[in-house]
Amino acid sequence: MSQYIAQAIANMYAALAEAAITCIKVSTVIPGSSLSISYPPSAGTFTNEAAAAISRIASILLNHGASLMLNVYSYFAYAADTDFISLDYALLRPGAPSAGDQNLEYDNIFDGMVDAFYAALEKINQPGLTVAVTESGWPTAGNEPITSPENAETYNRNLLNHVEEGRGTPRRPSQPLDVYFFAMFNEDLKQAGIEQHWGFFYPNMQPVYSFWQCP
């Protein structure tokens, strides 16, 4: 399917242009699995299959001033390597031990994951393309004690504060980043485990934890 995405995006832009619509951007989302190397961030590299597809997509997006969309899940990176990654580093807690990569310092894993994509884009000669994070979050249950309402609130609140500071990432310090939380609601029809527990709210509209200022 990946070989058709660039053409589909180009076709949608052509249709928008024919209708004289210039205010709508078209993009696509790529997952973390599109990287064959993600650590350290400077070594970020796309898989061979992804590199070919993303190179074509990136050229179109750059021509239209659109950002490439990423799914960035710090939880999965931490849960896969709790012996090496500290929870404070994964939750963006202030004062977490930093990690060096070339001449850059990382005080949280989220920035490192985003910068791995930037490094991968540079390797396919697309250094000018911006990115937006269209999914990030932390589950509240399903893999205790890593998953909990407290950890989810901490991660999401610290991520919100981090983004609102507008300082970008170590690799792109002057580039503010748009981030979207996943998800608004718990999804009780999904597979049992963490997949049911990413939401800010239960299906009955009650909050899983206090985050949004709701009446």
Any idea which residues carry the catalytic annotation?
Answer: 135, 187, 190, 195
DSSP structural state of residue 190 = S
DSSP structural state of residue 204 = T
What is the phi/psi pair of residue 104, to 5°?
A: -110, 150
Element (H, E) at 161: helix 149-164
As given in the structure block, the two tokens for residue 104 are 């850059």
What is the phi/psi pair of residue 116, to 5°?
A: -65, -35
What is the phi/psi pair of residue 29, to 5°?
A: -105, 140
Report the distance separating Cα 184 and Cα 69, nearest Å.
19
CA angle 47, 52, 53 (to 5 degrees): 100
Residue type, 143: N
Closest CA to 118 of 27, 43, 31: 43
Report the distance separating Cα 51 and Cα 211, nearest Å.
38
Per the CB < 8 A criterion, the answer to whether 95 and 88 are in contact is yes
Report the distance separating Cα 4 and Cα 146, nearest Å.
38
